[in-house]
């Protein structure tokens, strides 16, 4: 076994989700949104996802925009196997039907997708995550009681063409809300920018290219997880009462 993976998994800090979207698998701090690249083989994608999981990724999503249901389900089943073998929760982007068919733990919805309440009626057993891009969206999302929500894009990213960056101010605004559920800073997060997001108040991040496109996805994930753990140690130290 890769020593980096064993160490990272042993140090993971997760939050158990309760309520309508409860799951036996808890949400972690390093969320990988796996998006197949044009021309990429399934074998290469799965190998990179497996390496990322072994490096420390502790929450996983498969995002296949504009795919038909049958191939989306087939790939989602393979990715779910990788995630569940490592006790990592697995989400499908956009499609509650695909999430159910593939045995995923949850579905992630954008602002233009199904409302959380509608998705919950269709699939009450699924955890439901939501994308947000502004403070009013975060407030509205919290009223829907999702399992988690994402905040971004913090920086401009080709993963979200046409979506303006919300900047670090939005992360500070969400942190000030002290949300009762997990939330993730997303968008242009990598080894060079993660510190800014953490300093702004995030304690969890979601990534795409920083891990999936890295020469060594396991090493990239381990580096990001190390930054998350270091930020958590600093936070605990500053919040501990003086002796």
CA R_g for the chain: 17
State pLDDT tens for residues 68-125.
999 999 999 999 999 999 999 999 999 999 999 999 999 999 999 988 989 999 999 9
Query: How many Cα atoms occupy the beta-carbon half-sphere of 111 within 13 Å?
Result: 13
Which domains occur in the chain, in start order? 3-239 (3.20.20.70)
State pLDDT tens for residues 14-43.
555 443 344 457 999 999 999 999 999 999
130-158 exposure pattern, b = at least 16 Cβ within 10 A, e = fewer: bbbbebebbeebbeeebbbbbbbbbbebe
Query: How many Cα atoms occupy the beta-carbon half-sphere of 134 within 13 Å?
Result: 5
pLDDT value of position 235: 83
Does residue 11 have a pLDDT over 60? no
Contacts of residue 225, Cβ cutoff 8 Å, sequence gap at least 6: 8, 11, 12, 29, 30, 55, 56, 57, 58
Binding residue per annotation — 188? yes
How are beta strands 127-132 and 148-151 bridged, if at all?
parallel
Binding residue per annotation — 181? no
Q: What are the φ and ψ backbone dihedral angles of 75, each rounded to 5 degrees?
A: -70, -40
Binding residue per annotation — 159? yes
Binding residue per annotation — 160? yes
| CB 33 within 8 Å of CB 93 | yes
State pLDDT tens for residues 120-155.
999 999 999 999 999 999 999 999 999 999 999 999
Binding residue per annotation — 65? yes
Binding residue per annotation — 113? yes
Binding residue per annotation — 78? no
Binding residue per annotation — 64? yes
* CA angle, 143 then 80 then 130, to 5°: 15
């Amino acid at each position: 076994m890769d020593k980096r993976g064993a160490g990272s998994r042993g140090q993971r800090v997760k939050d158990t989700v309760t309520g309508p979207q409860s799951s036996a698998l808890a949400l972690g701090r390093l969320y990988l949104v796996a998006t197949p690249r044009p021309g990429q083989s399934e074998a290469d994608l799965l190998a990179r996802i497996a390496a990322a999981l072994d490096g420390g990724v502790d929450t996983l999503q498969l995002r296949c925009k504009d795919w038909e249901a049958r191939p989306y389900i087939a790939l989602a089943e393979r990715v779910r196997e990788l995630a569940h073998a490592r006790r990592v929760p697995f989400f499908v982007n956009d499609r509650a039907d695909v999430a159910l068919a593939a045995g995923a733990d949850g579905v992630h919805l954008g602002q233009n997708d199904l409302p959380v309440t509608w998705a919950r009626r269709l699939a009450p057993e699924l955890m439901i995550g939501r994308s947000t891009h502004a403070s009013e969206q975060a407030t509205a999302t919290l009223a829907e009681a999702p399992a988690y929500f994402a905040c971004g894009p913090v920086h401009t990213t080709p993963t979200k063409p046409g979506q303006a960056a919300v900047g670090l101010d939005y992360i500070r605004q969400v942190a000030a809300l002290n949300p009762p559920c997990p939330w993730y800073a997303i968008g242009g997060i990598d080894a060079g920018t993660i510190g800014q997001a953490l300093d702004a108040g995030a304690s969890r991040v979601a990534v795409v290219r920083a891990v999936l496109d890295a020469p060594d996805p396991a090493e990239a994930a381990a580096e990001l997880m190390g930054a998350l753990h270091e930020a958590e140690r600093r936070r605990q130290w500053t919040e501990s009462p003086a002796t």
